[in-house]
A = this chain, B = another copy of it.
Amino acid sequence: MSKKLVFGHQNPDTDATGAAMSLSYLANQKGFDTEAVVLGEVNKETAFALNHFGLTAPRVIEQAGTEVDSVMLVDHNEFGQSVSDIEDVKISHVVDHHRISDFHTADPLFYRAEPLGAASTVLWKMYQESNIEIPKGIAGMMLSAIISDTLLFKSPTTTPTDEAAAKDLASIAGVDIESYGLDMLKAGADLSDKSEAE
């Protein structure tokens, strides 16, 4: 099977990045040959999370079709939010938690979306169903993604499944949700780059 790239939306957030790493690992366990990449430099919050779990940021790509024939999308489906040449590659998998819009395929595909707080929560369910163990670092990134998208379970999109997933992932990752989560959100909100007027 030829190699596939796995990525989230442009201007990657922690869910776009963490869900790509998570789906890539899961797919590789199932026999696919994939690499998680990002469509732009990771933000400060994501960099904090990667650093905390001793991981390096996925490689940034500008185009997909120059490297592969086929891709997997996470945390988005709209072509306008995707890689610039999305219309030129085959989309074999999507794992998402958004509405479907500006999206179509030529062939049948694997599409898994649920109205949950984060794409990483959908992935947590997929790991449970597959009985595949989540490595510590991947669990840390999935937890970070859920905390980021739900603002520590304060956003109205938060569901009981997001909270259950976060609890399980925190125990694998070996962190306290509240204290780690606040540190991560603070790192993302770091104002040092901003002028006093902001």
- Least Cβ distance of A102 to chain B in Å? 7
* Copies of this protein chain in the complex: 2
Closest to A98 in B: B108
Question: Closest approach, in angstroms, between the C-beta of A196 and any C-beta of chain B?
Answer: 38
Contact check, B109 vs A112: say whether CB atoms are below 8 A apart: no
Residues of B within 8 A of A100 (CB): 100, 103-105, 109, 111
Closest Cβ of chain B: how far from A79's Cβ, in Å?
A: 12
Q: How far is the CB of A105 from chain B (nearest CB, A)?
A: 5
A-B contact pairs, 10 of them (CB 8 A): A98-B108, A99-B106, A99-B109, A100-B109, A103-B104, A107-B115, A108-B114, A108-B115, A111-B113, A112-B113
Q: How far is the CB of A183 from chain B (nearest CB, A)?
A: 29
Q: Please tell me if A179 contacts chain B, counting CB pairs below 8 Å.
A: no
Residues of chain B lying within 8 A (CB to CB) of residue A99 = 104-109
- Known pairs A100-B100, A129-B129; A114 contacts B105 (CB<8 A): no
Could you say which interface size class chain A belongs to? 20 to 34
Minimum CB–CB distance for A18 against chain B, Å: 18
Q: Which of A130-183 contact B (CB under 8 A)?
A: none
Task: Please state if B115 and A110 are interface contacts (CB–CB under 8 Å).
Answer: yes
In the complex, A76 has a CB within 8 A of chain B: no
A101 at the A/B interface (Cβ < 8 Å)?
yes
Compute how far the CA of A192 lies from the CA of B106 in the bound complex, rounded to whole angstroms: 37
Give the residue name and chain of the B residue nearest to A102 (CB): B104
A97 within 8 A of B: yes
- Which residue of B has the minimal Cβ distance to A128? B129
Known pairs A101-B104, A102-B104, A129-B129; A111 contacts B112 (CB<8 A): yes
